[in-house]
A = this chain, B = another copy of it.
Amino acid sequence: MKENLLAQIVWILEEVHRKKPLIHHITNYVTVNDCANIVLAIGASPIMADDIEEVETITSISSALVLNIGTLNRRTIESMLAAGKKANALNIPVILDPVGAGASELRNRTTEKLLKEIKISVLRGNMSEIRFVAGLEADTKGVDASDADLVRGTETGRAVAEKVAKELGCVTTITGATDIVSDGVRTILIENGTKLLSNVTGTGCMCTSLVGAFCGVADDTLIAAAGAILSLGIAGELAAARAGDKGNGSFHLAIIDAVSKLTAETLTGRAKIQEA
């Protein structure tokens, strides 16, 4: 089971290396450089474009579309909707990162609008963000999951992910101490990663971008999403080992290094993943 899962993930990773898919991002200006560099590091090619006059064209030549609402504004909401609809028409997977959903009406309303008007392939967020999407009580603290939401634990998180996945018909992932990836029927749990990932801004965004890269070459979005999240978790572990006690800057750099050096062997050897 685990072997089969890993074999599929390794194939997707190698397919990214072979095909170098173009990943269109409409994303925030805080972490956009890291998103571009993580996409290059995994072997894919990023393009960032958010003007309404070109987003449909750029989506058309891309293999996946990543929508990230981290620094939302009215201009880019319109662009996200247009690009998303074009992606749907062309059967290009759309990945949504509802950064800070629950924290403001604008983010809530936009998340709802995107989910209603666009067929999302993968939704990736933290516990607070996905609880908001699920219509549950969520205690968002800015862009990080709140302690109150986290204490509810993996079992509850799993139920939330499965509920959202079923209702929206999309792969739903909640990243955290245990990463949860579900399509409503099958659920994958990943135990890789390190708490240090929350010390650097944009590791969630980078994870979403990697999901874009994996989905850009694979039809099985559940496995693709799990593979991308697994890759970042393992890169985090390797980065923590290499950065040691040096500090956040060294750890940040080491994440990009580790993703750019990720091999099938490392992935297979370190994966703590199960379908359960």
Residues on A close to B: CB < 8 A? 22, 28-34, 36-37, 40-41, 45-51, 53-54, 57-58, 61-62, 70-75, 100, 103-107, 141-144, 199-202, 245-250, 252-261
Minimum CB–CB distance from A232 to chain B (whole Å) comes to 14
A201 engages B144 (CB within 8 Å): no
Measured CA separation A45–B20 after assembly (Å):
35
Instruction: State in angstroms the CA–CA spacing of A51 and B71 once bound together.
Output: 8
**A141 close to B249 (CB less than 8 A):** no
State whether A36 touches B201 (Cβ < 8 A): yes
Residues of B within 8 Å of A58, CB to CB, are 103-104, 142
Chain B residue with the shortest CB-CB distance to A32: B30
- Look across to chain B and name the residue whose beta carbon is closest to the beta carbon of A254: B249
Cα A45 to Cα B143 in complex, Å, equals 9
User: Which one of B34, B104, B143, B258 lies within 8 Å of A33 (CB-CB)?
Assistant: B34
What are 6 A-B pairs with beta-carbon distances under 8 A?
A36-B202, A37-B248, A40-B199, A46-B142, A49-B72, A248-B259
B70 and A141 contacting across the interface, CB-CB below 8 Å: no
Report yes or no: A253 in contact with B260, Cβ–Cβ below 8 A.
no
Chain B contacts for A257, CB-based, 8 A: 246-250
- Residues of B within 8 Å of A252, CB to CB, are 37, 249, 253, 256
User: Dominant SS at the A interface?
Assistant: mixed
Indicate whether A256 sits within 8 Å of B260 (C-beta atoms), given known contacts A49-B71, A50-B73, A100-B47. Answer: no
In the complex, are the beta carbons of A61 and B249 less than 8 A apart? no
Residues of the B chain whose Cβ atoms lie less than 8 Å from the Cβ of A34 = 33
B28 and A201 contact, CB distance less than 8 A: no
Complex CA distance for A159 and B51, rounded to whole angstroms: 34
- For A247, what are the chain B residues with a Cβ–Cβ distance below 8 Å? 41, 254, 256-261
Knowing A103-B61, A141-B61 are in contact, say whether A51-B74 is a contact too (CB < 8 A).
yes
Interface pair B45/A142, CB less than 8 Å apart:
yes
Minimal beta-carbon separation of A79 from chain B (angstroms): 9
B30 close to A48 (CB less than 8 A): yes
Residues of chain B within 8 A of A105, CB atoms compared: 53-54, 57
Q: What's the minimum C-beta distance from A139 to chain B, rounded to whole angstroms?
A: 11
**Of the residues B70, B72, B142, contact of A61 by C-beta under 8 Å:** B142
Docked-complex contact B248 and A256, CB < 8 angstroms: yes
Q: Please indicate the chain B residues that have their CB under 8 angstroms from the CB of A74 in the complex.
A: 51, 53
Q: Is the CB of B54 within 8 A of A107?
A: yes
A107's nearest neighbour on chain B, judged by CB, is B54
Question: Complex: how many Å from CA A248 to CA B254?
Answer: 9
A29 CB contact (under 8 Å) in B32, B75, B245: B32
CA distance A193 to B29 in the complex (A): 29
